[in-house]
Structure 1
Amino acid sequence: MTYQDPRGRQPRDPDPRTARYESGYNPDSRAYSQQDPYAEPYRDSYPADPYAAQGGYADQGGYAEQPRPARAPRRGPEVNPVTFAGGVVMTGVVTGLAAWLVAWIISAFVEKVNESGKLGVWNPVAASEIWFGVVGFLCALAAGALWYVLQLITPAPNQFYRWIVALLLVAAVLIPILTYQQTSVGIETAILHLVIGLPPLTIIPAMGVKSLQRPAG
């Protein structure tokens, strides 16, 4: 829609959004310039985009990429040292007590068999009950140290730990059976080695995961 300017100027469309559809439209013409006082009210009626004014859009039509916070370099496993050390010690206590108890049960059973004389004479366990208890405690401490070292140097520490301990446990069970001259002593020793190896294989990884510190936030 056009109208006649009362000051005798050329007819123009007062609305800049529809001016391009009028005949004789020239965007460079002063009649359609935004500096014209008649065009100022229409220009000011549309506020500027606040997001564009603040740089909220990228130059190519997308959203501006937000800067990512830099990650701090990892210096070691985020393990609570007090909780981890306490868990390793208690695993050693459990392993030592289990080995001592099983050794005592085997010794008592062997003595009963020898007293009866019906099944021949069996040799007792190759070592005393206290010896197996101490060995079990030390094996648990070594297993805790192994788990911590694997946290430092391997990408999948729990998997490597389980494989290493499981292979050592199989060897500790089979070697006495295959190498001892007396089969009874080999079987009894293999049973005690199995009892010593099971707690570090199962308790240490679970305890280690529970000792990991979760990042705040």
Structure 2
Amino acid sequence: MSDYYGNQPQDVRPGIDARRLWAGGVATAVVAALLAVVGLLIARGIFEVEVLAPKGEGVWGNASTTTYALVAAAVALLATGLMHLLSVATPAPSQFFGWIMVLVTLIAVVLPLTLTVTPSAKIATAVINLVIGLVIAAVVNSMAASARTLHRRRSQQSATPPTPPPTRQQWTQQDPPTRYYDR
């Protein structure tokens, strides 16, 4: 069955514009890194909480602001890669991505709470990780939605080329328009 223009039905498959997705992923990595720096500056500078600077050798060691920002950027790039993989391999990429990011963010929130540091440092680190995780998940998910495309494949039912719509000259020869003043 063809439409008015003679086009055959098409097989439509969802796809993703990889360039747009990864450009957005790099931008998300910059946002995540800056968010980590802002979170540490607020915790250390305003609230005077020694975030990621435990007295002993804990899980985090003596991580610096730069390292924390780079890890946040790397997580954003990993999230972009995960979204790309899910977009080409699963039927509902946003749902799977959402669940995975919620669980990864939950791990990032709970992990600092297990450290042997002051409670204020535990809570501040957990809050910073929560904000970074939620921002990465929301931004990657929304930019992946804008990078989605539809790939069309023509059906092989008919080998005849589609017929173009009639030109204005053909239309006027076949069915001249009726004018109100010709009545």
Scaled by the length of structure 2, what TM-score is found? 0.66
Cα displacement (A) at 1:131: 1.7
Closer/same/farther in 2, CA of residues 149 and 91 from structure 1, 3 Å limit: same
Contact (CA 8 Å) 1:143, 1:200: kept in 2 or not? yes
**Once the two structures are superposed, what CA deviation does each residue of 1:23-56 show, in whole Å capped at 9, x if it has no partner?**
xxxxxxxxxxxxxxxxxxxxxxxxxxxxxxxxxx
Residue 181 in structure 1 maps to residue 116 in structure 2: yes
Equivalent residue for 1:164?
Answer: 100
**Once the two structures are superposed, what CA deviation does each residue of 1:63-95 show, in whole Å capped at 9, x if it has no partner?**
xxx379464585xx5222221111110011111
Equivalent residue for 1:103?
Answer: 40
Over alpha carbons, which structure has the higher Rg?
Answer: 1
Q: Distance in 1 between matches of 2:140 and 2:12?
A: 26
Contact (CA 8 Å) 1:107, 1:125: kept in 2 or not? no
Unaligned runs of 5+ in 2: 54-62, 153-183
* Equivalent in 149, 167, 179 of residue 85 of structure 2: 149
Cα displacement (A) at 1:187: 1.4
SS state at 2:16 partner: coil
Q: Distance in 2 between matches of 1:95 and 1:69?
A: 46
Equivalent residue for 1:209?
Answer: 145
Structure of greater relative contact order (alpha carbons < 8 Å, 6+ residues apart): 2
Scaled by the length of structure 1, what TM-score is found? 0.57
Unaligned runs of 5+ in 1: 1-65, 112-121
Q: Distance in 2 between matches of 1:79 and 1:173?
A: 31
* Equivalent in 24, 31, 35 of residue 87 of structure 1: 24
The RMSD of aligned alpha carbons is 2.4
Contact (CA 8 Å) 2:51, 2:125: kept in 1 or not? no
Q: Distance in 1 between matches of 2:52 and 2:12?
A: 52
**Once the two structures are superposed, what CA deviation does each residue of 1:149-168 show, in whole Å capped at 9, x if it has no partner?**
11122111100100010011
**Once the two structures are superposed, what CA deviation does each residue of 1:111-158 show, in whole Å capped at 9, x if it has no partner?**
4xxxxxxxxxx6443332222211111110000000111112211110
